[in-house]
Structure 1
Amino acid sequence: MASSNLVRHSQSIKQCGVCETIAKIEVKCIDCDLFMCETCKRNHSKYKDAEIHMLVDIKDITVDDEYKYDSCNKLVCPACIEYEHRKHELKKIEHACTDQLNKISKVQDEVSTVTNLYLGKLDKLEKVNHLQYNEILHQIKQDQIEAMGKINQTYNDEKEKLERQRFLISYIITSRKDTIEKQQENIEKQKKHLHDIAQSRETASFFEKKEEFERQLEEVTDSIYSNHYHSKILQYTKGLVFGMEPKTTTNEIDVTIQQEYNADFNINDLKIDKRKTIWTSSIDNINQFEVKKCDENLTFTKKTSCPAEIGQIGKIGLTNMNNLVFISSTGIHILKKMDEKIMKIVGFTEYKPKSIHISKENQLFIGMSFDDVKNSTDKAIIKVFSLEGKRLTAKTIFNTGNKFLINGSVTGCATFNNETIVGKETSNKGTICYIDYNCKGDPHCGRLIKLNLNRDIQWVYRGSIIINSEKSPFNPCSMVVTEQDNIVLLDLNQSSLHIIQPNGLLLTLADLSLVGIQSPRLMTLDGDGHMWINTLRHTKTGKLYELKISGF
């Protein structure tokens, strides 16, 4: 009943804590510690942060709540007690302070207990973390020891394998050399014997031995020079700690002459299309030869004479549609196979175009000549055009002063087309390599340069010390890029092929004189991957060879 009476009392008319008028109390705001009438309750919602205040309906306040909510914890004077604090719990100051100190001490003890427990847990976490660190570090060291052991074993195995392969190749070469040296010794003996017979004037015996000696010489020559070149080379695939193993292999390079033709006419450049039609350029003509219709001599299938205003014809290239693009002294032109019309793509008034390359996307890369230019700095050394003659400035390559992209003239260029991954280096696609032929200084000085996508020099190849020297300088006269993105260079002076990997390292050298090819000057690839090489004209005719190649 007491509680009921208190509720009824609370709902009775009393002074509103906001408007301070006698009114029926509806709610109490716990946050403001004020009783409010209906009017002030509505106005209260307009207060700042009122939405987070707690309003309690007056009928829900119990006796305990009444006393609880009516303890304001304020210092009051006797006058205020009667006016504002009549129902508040009152204590003497000294008693209230003692009570508050006891409460604070109790709360402090509780906080201290919780804090110490939490600190204890953090200590345990720190110990666990340190223990895990030592454990994992130990595992890493064990893995390192195991991995190093495996790596050492792997590389020792590869080294032993490499030694065996080197020994085998050396044995083959040494055996071949011994055979040839024995043949030479035998020839010298036979020659001396023939000389003795001649001195004895045994004529019949002399001519019999002479014929035998000539057959022997021919056999020796045939055993040395054939239409087949075969060699073994050592290769190494670089290994990574993670992902792949190093690998030493023996690769076999094979070059075989398939056909050879006499070419009793001038050839400025050479290309072959997918149908095995040979295209050549001379000073004022574009010539076509059907391989299937030729015997040992190349005979014209079609001959296109160019008008005098076009000028002298130089290098040529084939588009994807087998239309011929060629350089002349007046610019770049195209000969369309369908209607045999010649149209100018772009003209040149400054400097001379020296070489041409047509990419798989039918973009024209024109290597420029700087034979008569004193300073090639900030000049376009390779200009790039579309077949419509639009200059692709984003791809045109300039010889900026601090990069030294060229010392002479671009006598050959090619693009790479494959995405490759070698170690941590990726992608050759879109990069370019070219021959920089220095005609200003040493007339036989050349180098091969590869540029990355930013047109910075990635590497430079200046020949091989095995065959090139000051007396036998590197003289690259023609180049192609294979489907595997290996670069093949013709060395005119040494009658050799330099086969360069995409990373700029020499894969191998192939001496073409061993298959009877001397002074190679022009080279192209057909759709079957066969290599066609034209040689300099010596006495009466030059030669055109079709070579089947493998191993690179």
Structure 2
Amino acid sequence: MADNISMEGAQMPQICHMCEENTDIKFKCLDCAFLLCPRCRKLHAKVKTEYVHQIVDMRDERAITNATKTNRVIPIRCEFHEDENYIMCCKSCQQLVCATCIVTMHQKHEMGDMKLINSAKVKKLKKYQDKIDKIILPNISRNYNRCDDLMEFHTKEVDRAKSGIRKWQNYLIKTVAQFVNEDADEFCEQIDNNMEAIKQNILPQLSELDDMKRNIKEIRSEIDRVTSSNDFTQMIYIKKSIKSSLENLNAQKMKERTQYFEFTQSELRIPKLGEMALKTVFHLQCTQSIQTRLACIDKMASYNGKLLVRNLNLKNVCLLKTFNNEIIEKQKWNIDVKDITVLQTGEIIVILFDKTELRLLSKRQHVTSKTIGDCTNIFFDTAPQIPTALHTTRDNKIIISTVETGRDWLPMDNPCTVEILVITAKSELIFRFMFDKNLFCFPNKITSLGTDICIADSISDYSGRLVTLDNKGKVKWTYGDNETNSVIIADMVSTPLCNIVLLDPCQSMLRVLDSKGAFLNSWSLRDFDIANPYAMTISNDEKIFIGCGQVGSNLHILEFRE
């Protein structure tokens, strides 16, 4: 039956979407959502390919249901021809095309069925979906929890700092006020005491002078009277009285000058509340220690939840994976290597002793051949220089350090010619920095800090330093470059927040530097029950792995918060 719609309370019959006249609706195109009459049904089928238009009888509910459940390609309007839908996929151009596109722009190109292409795309997207579920979302959750922890930590630190400031402020205000008040009271008391001494000194003199003043005034009055009366006898008496008064006046001795207090304000020196210093948040704890059955781990690299290690005693390379807190050996190569690194694609690159070539390890399981050619392929050649260390950056570039031919692999005290190379994952050269016996003695470890290159340079068996270059090969800073601040670096990693962690095996210690080479913190690995540390790497989920030179628990996992 035809679909009806309600209009002002009445049921109005639908009309055919093509002829817009016939109300005898019998069919529907599920792709275009067109209602069709029997005559237009054939016309509509001819407009586009039958494979695009799925036209069903509206009376056949089962057909509608089955068609809805099928994996149909949803019609998409062509961006170049608005009246047409995409019907195929051009394999040559890797884009969807409509009928007009095929004729006008994609003649003689190889076409593919949209359903097959769609199926391949869906399959690929499902792989991405699996990657999102297993890698991306866990990383986001981990980073979110880390940021949430940091926010909580900093919020508490802010509250604690402000509370301490206010308490200390109130203490200082009360202390200063009390001190000033006591000082003012003491000063006023001294002034009052001095005033009493002044009174005892001056007041008697004032009284005596008042008496003398009164006598002199009486004598003066007598002089007026006597001179008027011409009384000679009285004149003689007055003269004697004046002479006596003058003698008394001259006889009066002023006591010592009285001292007085003059208040002088002290220079205002505002007491400092304290000092503010930024402290870097960097906490570290050992979360797991694992027995690997390996005698000595002295080289490490991490990728996609796996660990690549060199077993120094047996001189082989093992690919390990943790499972239920245990280590499973996935693959082994019976070759001795100088250094190892892993590309993000999982390809393993190694340096062999006395060879100028970087080699790719074969992915065959448990390669036991002792012939190097059987288990490696040449990846890059550094000739005539000899490679000493490798590192894969976060953007999948490889950094290589090399020394001049004939240089022993052990560190030497005098500088040598060193090249630092940066290449792509396809072994294409990007940068080459040459240092002609003016900087390095023996570069034995590399890591990267953004675009900077950090190189551990061994000066001797018992001293070393860290040299950091910018992306133009210029020295930015060094750490441990003098006798009082020398450091032996067995391994090092850079963290996502641009800190560098150095492994000092002699002191069994980790040191942390910031991106400018400033010292931040240090930990004794003995506090984590870690003995004989030889190697270190950092995983994708930002855990630090420490490999040790002992049998038993020789692989330790450290987690940190920056």
Give the TM interval when normalised to the shorter protein: 0.3 to 0.5
- The TM-score, its normalising length taken from structure 2, stands at 0.44
